[in-house]
Structure formats: structure tokens, C-alpha cells
Structure 1
Amino acid sequence: MNNPPKGSSLRLGRRSLPGQAYLITTCTAHRQPYFNNFWIGRGVVSALREVEAATTLAFVVMPDHLHWLMVLHGNASLSRTVQFLKTRSAQNVKCLVACDGGIWQRGFHDRALRRDDDVVAAARYIVANPLRAGLVENVGEYALWDAIYF
């Protein structure tokens, strides 16, 4: 049986709905822990603040991936919005990262959240990632996260 490339299977059923909250997860190329470097991680945070097509509710930049909870605006495309973030963050850190190709894997995982309770649970999940990974003992010790919805 011929399987489609992994990135294309992630796109199956993807819809861009205005006002919809999405939990986005995307990984670095080859799961390289680029964001162990604080300044490289801050380049991603800076890019998140530049996204105009969505409102960021919560995020955490982990060493080798990003969790982003956001609400899509107007006629914005979910795929284009995530692509903007990846492109802009790569531009922000290109002088700090020596890598072959881009810093991000192709594609991303998305999950549309259906209820306000789901949004709160997703924000808490995101914020607690550094704790679960054993990177810190207290969320306040981790510098690469923020949440307006907790």
C-alpha cells in the first residue's frame, strides 16, 4: 500500500475558521534543541508577537518544539498563518543558528478546540510543558512562555 507523505496526511480535513481556537504543535528540523539557547527561543517569541492573522492565547517554546494556542482572525488561512510564524522566526534567528536548511520541520499538527473549557485546559497544558519535561520545578522559572488565558 502506498502511504501519502506524512506532511500531507496532517493537512487532511484541515479547515481555517474565523474565530476558531486552535492548538498548534510544530517541531524543529530533526528535533534539534535549537531553543535551548534563550536568544534563539526569544526569536520565536518575537515572531509570535508579529502574527497579525491570529490572537495568541498561550504558547511555550520548548527546546525542540512549539505549542501555540491561538484564535484565527477573519479570512486568515491556518496554514499561511503558521507558515508566516515559521518564516518570521527563522528570519529572526538565522544569524544565531548554523543549520542545513530551515529550523522547522515541514508541516504542523493542529487541533480545533470546541468549547471554552477546552481552551482553558489547552492553555494549562501548554504552560505546564516545561514542568512535565523536567526542565524546571516551577513554571515561573521558565522564560519562554506566556498566556493571556489561564
Structure 2
Amino acid sequence: MARIRHLLTASTLVAASLLTSFLATSPAAAQGKAWGKLYARNDSGKLARAYGDFANNGGVYATVGANWDDLRRSDHNPVYVEAEFFFLKGGKWESAGTTQTARTDTSDSGSMSRKLRHDAHAARAVIKVCVDRAHWSDVCSPSAVVSFSY
């Protein structure tokens, strides 16, 4: 019985070690530069909020970690975060495209990434939170701009 308990304890330690390793390298756990809080507003007040960080994720990806909230859930206009990625190459910032998170009428979190470019030495993200309005232009926050060198 003691041997089985010892094996279970060792298995638990291995599982905990693997989980800790995974969490330390996941996008949400990357140590980055904070970029929030951002608010999308209209004349009647705050509609959406987002905050998060921008990090060099393991020397492989530039990753935006984001948390976003729909502050007006009853209007049925979902909220999302948008990030445009740039890389500094030859003294100029070159766009690597724009991506968006999933849309939600509640709260959510997630990440968006671009692979680091070997021919660049810095990454930048221009980030905003927006309210998706079906028949009008989306309402977005002012942009946060966050960079890191690598």
C-alpha cells in the first residue's frame, strides 16, 4: 500500500510539474507590458472595457493577452478586441496584419499572436476594444500602443 501511495504522490508531482510548466509558457501567463484599461464609449457612457498585456512569448511569438467585458449586455451588441501587429525592420514599422478576438455579450479572455520575424528586432501591437454594431460603424476605444525589443 505504501508503494502505491508513493507512486500516486510521484505521479501527482509530475502532473503538477507539467501543469506549472504549461502555465508558465502559455500566452496568458507570459510576462508582458500591460496595455489597459481601454473603454469604448458613446455619448451615453462606457460600452466595453478591455485590458491585458503584450509579450515576447518564448522568443517565438509576439502575443497580446486580452480580457474584455461587454458593459451593456442588454443591447445585444457583442464586444471584441482588435490588434494590429507591427515589426521594426530597417528602421521602419511594417504591418503584419490585424486580428480580432471572438465576440461576446458577456466577458471573455484570450490571446492573439504573430510569429516573431527573424529579420526584425522589435514588435509592436496597436490594440483597441470595440462594440460590434450590425447596421452602424463599430464603436471603438482609443488605441493602446505597446512595443518590445528582441
Asked if TM exceeds 0.5, the reply is no
Structure (1/2) with the larger helix percentage: 1
Q: Give me the TM-score of the superposition, normalised by structure 1.
A: 0.28
Structure (1/2) with the larger strand percentage: 2
Q: Which has the higher contact order (CA 8 A, sep 6+)?
A: 1
